[in-house]
Chain A
């Protein structure tokens, strides 16, 4: 599966990376807010007024990925989100309480469902094709990628718009912070969309080789899968994009994977740039694709020329583990 267009909005300003490049400066504070572009150039201002931040981020990155790939109407739209449209959900619930369950306005209710981002993209494109949203905590993006692969297997030559979006609101930050989720690493948010096909083109950024998901794996299962991935990559993985956080609850699992891949393998912890959120692997995938397309990695004092394969590994405290292997094309 080949990435022919990729766009991301995150706390690290990457949306305009094509023109401005990227300054890799880790976010400060305990809540990282996405660096959003001027949407008026991307979405009809008449439609923006009803869109919450997560919808705007999702729609803008989807449109940008399509534009890059030169595709006006994809054959499928697949979206992953763990939290869904939290801002609108909060507004709707607040009014529900304040108005005694009466006189509820429709907009927040309509926009609060998890599939709103994918639906808004389809509405804007007048796209009546397959449209699905996966809501599976820290594997929401991975499930979307897997569905995109299946779709392309069943529909050779098709183009699929696949991505993920999650937002952090005042309410969700306050609650998740109380749960201790951001004790060692800042909370984050973001959106990323990709236009993928089953064949390479001159516009291709990278190839998605494998997407593996595991739930609560034991050490052996994890070790075996990491070894299988390394073998699949002919022993040539050039960089590990790790979801490991400071004082990570799953530090043992991350160490286990590193031991299989080889301790000499360069590792970059991507969550210091995007913060902690369940679909952060969508941001990590964008970074990997960007570096594979550029043919070099320059970050954290690390310099890698012509990287061939980049592996993304995330072990979420909820028990959801995932591997995404991308290679240059």
Chain B
């Protein structure tokens, strides 16, 4: 999966996990996820952490990195690409 596909998949995953009433096309990948932009809150942050673990098998080692990683869909995609373990086969 290339970066562009990952970004689109992430938008879909975020919409489903958080039950957002928007379409993937409405989410700008570089826009902030919290406060401005999508207006997510602290409960959503926990949902995104679980999403990262369940779907991409990435566990956040340091909670202080959260704000940087979950700043936007772009930063989430970069983090996944940098940390995802290559699948066997």
> CB within 8 Å of B: which residues of A?
45-46, 48-50, 99, 103-107, 110
Contacts and interface: CB of A to CB of B under 8 A. Distances in A.
A46 B20 CA distance: 8
A49 B43 contact: no
B40 to A, nearest CB: 10
A106 B18 contact: no
Nearest to A49: B19
Contact of B54 (A45, A49, A99, A106): A99
A234 B13 CA distance: 64
Contact of B20 (A49, A99, A104, A105): A49
Interface of B: 17-21, 39, 43, 46-47, 50, 53-54
Contacts of B46: 105-106
Contacts of B19: 49-50
A49 B50 contact: no
B54 A48 contact: no
B24 to A, nearest CB: 16
B21 A106 contact: no
Given A46-B39, A99-B54, A107 B21 contact: no
B47 A48 contact: no
A48 B43 contact: no
Contacts of B21: 45, 48-49
B39 A106 contact: no
Given A49-B18, A50-B19, A107 B54 contact: no
The 4 closest A-B pairs by CB, nearest first: A49-B19, A106-B46, A105-B50, A103-B50
A110 B19 CA distance: 15
A20 to B, nearest CB: 26
B78 to A, nearest CB: 22
Contacts of A110: 43
B39 A107 contact: no
19 contacts: A45-B21, A46-B39, A48-B21, A49-B19, A49-B20, A49-B21, A50-B19, A103-B50, A103-B53, A103-B54, A104-B50, A105-B17, A105-B46, A105-B50, A106-B46, A106-B47, A107-B43, A107-B47, A110-B43
